[in-house]
Amino acid sequence: SLVEVVVSWNLPMHAWLKKYVFKQTKKSLGAGMAILATYGASTLLHGLSAQIAAVLFSLGLYTWVEHKFRSKLAKIMDASIETRRDSEGRYKNREGAAWVILVNLGFGLLAMFHLAYLGVMFGNSQESSSGYSWSHTLSKWRTLDFTSHYIVAAFFLISWVL
């Protein structure tokens, strides 16, 4: 899942952001604002580049939507298909069931698609090392018809209906 990628990408930074930004913000403002604040802090720590900000805030939105959608779907289907591994054995349909493996594989492939889409922003040019502008970032996504963003929007709407 994208959540696992984000958590595993930089474990010390994840632990620091979770302890000092996410948990503190969640106490007073809720989970949605905590995610926004966490990715905002990460953007600042990465140098406040428009390119990095667009990717990180998109990633924050993607992980939040994925978490909400998969949590609801896991409860409905009584299956281990949440964003994080079910170590407590709460679900009737466990990770070893063929259809659960296929569902998790599908989400894994979708995560790879999203990461490739977001990664298109980064290149080997001189401008890339200092960070592209908002217009360049949006222009790149526009050439891809904002496909990944629309997929996330669809998952958000489905999750809202569930």
- In the DSSP assignment, the letter for residue 81 is -
pTM of structure: 0.82
- Closest-CA residue to 62 (of 39, 81, 78, 79): 39
The pLDDT assigned to 109 comes to: 95
Structure tokens at 92: 């009737």
Q: pLDDT tens, 60-78?
A: 899 999 989 988 988 888 8
- In the DSSP assignment, the letter for residue 92 is S
Q: pLDDT tens, 76-131?
A: 888 888 887 777 777 777 778 888 889 989 999 999 999 999 888 776 665 555 56
Q: At what angle do helices 98-119 and 2-9 cross, to 10 degrees?
A: 60
Task: Answer yes or no: are the C-beta atoms of 35 and 21 closer than 8 Å.
Answer: no
| CA 23/CA 140 separation, integer angstroms | 34
| CA 145/CA 39 separation, integer angstroms | 24
Residues designated catalytic: 46
- Closest-CA residue to 155 (of 113, 100, 93): 113
- 9: which residues sit within 8 A by CB, 6+ positions away? none
The pLDDT assigned to 123 comes to: 66
Averaged pLDDT, 25-36:
90
| CA 63/CA 67 separation, integer angstroms | 6
The pLDDT assigned to 138 comes to: 86
Per-residue pLDDT band for 7 (boundaries 50, 70, 90) equals confident
